[in-house]
Amino acid sequence: MKGRGADLSQTTLFSTLEELLNPEDTLYKLSDRIPWDRLDKEFSSLYSSEGGPAKPIRLMISLLLLKQMYNLGDETVLTSWVRNPYWQYFSGYTIFQWNAPLAASDLVHFRHRIVSIGL
């Protein structure tokens, strides 16, 4: 009798990144220590109430931090972000994402905003 293939439709035991990841991981701990709410208030002046919806400030800041921490380019940090659930958790995501959350050019525009106000 021929064996059956694995049942790929089975749901996962874990539903969120917080449940899946090791809370002792350095990046996991760092994500819980950064005052994201305060940074959100500080950076909110960079955004207008007009136009399309902006990407979350935590996402933008976390990507720039990861880029600097690991000495990566804009494209590379996004490729690595898709592959790394710890990076996604650090960016405020609770469910694993299969696609980059933004284009590399969005990081360039955000950096220009920061420089324009001296941050």
Per-residue pLDDT tens for 22-73?
Answer: 999 999 999 999 999 999 998 888 777 777 788 899 999 999 999 999 999 9
What is the identity of the amino acid at 5?
A: G
96 SS3 class: coil
pLDDT at 32: 94
14's tokens = 């874990």
Q: How many CA atoms lie within 13 A of 35 on its CB side?
A: 5
Tokens of 54: 């902006």
Which amino acid, residue 116? Answer: S
What number of other Cβ atoms are within 10 A of residue 110's Cβ?
21
